[in-house]
Structure 1
């Protein structure tokens, strides 16, 4: 297979009433495991690099992006490459040359008018450079180690009327919505507001994206897809699987045994979560 366009994968899933799993990767082992899991299920998948992951790699996007792209080119299923949670305009403008087909520009922490203004500018640039662009309205909590938002806090839920206006005025291709999930959850105990999801699906004419999906049980993931979610972001579940495997198989002199175990554990996690969506 060749590297696929994220937008095409999401739109194809939407047409079939399905969702594409999008996994945040940090290391080469993450990328290899996600693709192996996707190959086991026979489903397309998206590899995502976040701004935080790029920061971890000393701010150098190209080495890990090229490695992920090479993994995608060798995969037996279609694989998209997505730059996730970008706040830096400088990083945004590296996306096209680094092989990404899509980007998520994250200004959800800003007041509505500022979010719209900066996202509109990002969308104009992305479209001029052939990129599919996702944004967020309402704020999915738990980013960067922050505590989850109170469900009644301003911005903790996406307003359908605001979402309709935001999509029309910003020109984005997909919208991440806040409906009860939280980033960085290590237990799968979260529950979504499915009534709100139904209202958002009716209000918005672009694909909806669910962030913070590692904290959702399979039943909630399946219900989210049935309710209109078309891209499901997963990251923490991979890292939990990786860390637990490394703890069990850690050796003092050779990293290969514990990295092999970590990759195997992440492959199983990726395959299970992809299967839960379809």
Structure 2
């Protein structure tokens, strides 16, 4: 079926007090695994291509974006295409022609005033080109190999009053908030601040987004969704599943040279991970 706008999926989830899961994809195997898992679970899904993934693809966004869109059109569930963690204005401006309906513009590394100014400019441009836009306020941490900041440190978490002003002044459509998770976690040990999530939900009139969800247990995610999170981002969990399966296959078959054999093992492992994650949300 045709691609579905990200904003439609997230807004619908927010209205029904549920969440849509957004999976970061790096290879076509990631894309195929996410779609197979979504079909097995019978649920909509978002395919996310990050600026880091574009960098890995030698700086070209179109090959992976167009492959993802073509695969999504064969899916039997609604699928959206989202450009994630964009810091480059040049990449932002490629989003519409590459088929993305939404973008997460990340100026969170900047001081508040600079973050706001950059995000306001990005939101104005995005809206003028039909894009739904997400931003980030607070320090989620863990991107680009940086050590995650202590989520309990003063100033690390998103302040509801500051978030209300930021959303109003920037004009963004959704806000990624720092509530105790971190990017690139390989163990599900994060403890979320559910009271803060509820206060952020009450303060804002846009959906909340949770980044770094690979490090959050199923019960913690369910509680976060119940308190207002409408978009949940997952990336590292897929890479763990794929890498582990490839390692096991090559250890068991040291003679293997056909990449299709171990990539199949990796794709199947990611499909199982996606199905399990989505099933967890359906049980919530």
TM-score, normalization by structure 2: 0.96
Quickly say closer, same or farther: Cα 1:155–1:51, change in 2 above 3 A: farther
| Mapped partners of 1:110, 1:154: distance in 2 | 17
Equivalences for residues 1-278 of structure 1 within 5 A: 1-153=1-153, 155-250=155-250, 252-278=256-282
How far apart are 1:150 and its partner, in Å?
Answer: 1.9
Aligned length: 278
Counterparts of 1:261 and 1:155, CA distance in 2:
43
**Structure 1 residue 152 displacement after superposition:** 4.2
Q: Does the aligned pair in 2 maintain the 1:141–1:156 contact within 8 Å?
A: no
Structure 2 CA distance for aligned equivalents of residues 229 and 149 of structure 1: 21
Contact 2:151 2:181 in 1 (8 A): no
Residues 159-211 of structure 1 deviation map (CA, whole Å, 9 limit, x = unaligned)? 00000000000000000000000100011111100111111010011000000
Contact 1:221 1:276 in 2 (8 A): no
Q: After the TM superposition, which segments of 4 or more aligned residues of structure 1 sit over 4 Å from their partners?
A: none
CA contact (8 A) 2:182 2:212 kept: yes
Report the RMSD for the aligned CA atoms in angstroms: 0.9
Alignment deviations for residues 235-271 of structure 1 (CA, whole Å, 9 cap, x no partner): 0000000000000112531011111111110001111
Residues in 1 aligned to 2:221 and 2:35: alpha-carbon distance in whole angstroms: 20
**1: CA distance, partners of 2:11 / 2:43:** 14
Where 1:97 maps in the other structure, the secondary structure is coil
- SS state at 1:33 partner: helix
Q: TM-score, normalized by length of structure 1?
A: 0.98
How far apart are the structure 2 equivalents of 1:75 and 1:182? 31
Task: Give the Å deviation of 1:63.
Answer: 0.5
Q: State the alpha-carbon separation in 2 of the partners of residues 209 and 190 from structure 1.
A: 16
**Aligned equivalents of 1:276 and 1:222: distance in 2?**
8
Q: Structure 1 regions of 5+ residues with no counterpart?
A: none
Change (3 A) 1:108 1:155: farther
Structure 2 CA distance, aligned partners of 1:161 and 1:189?
28
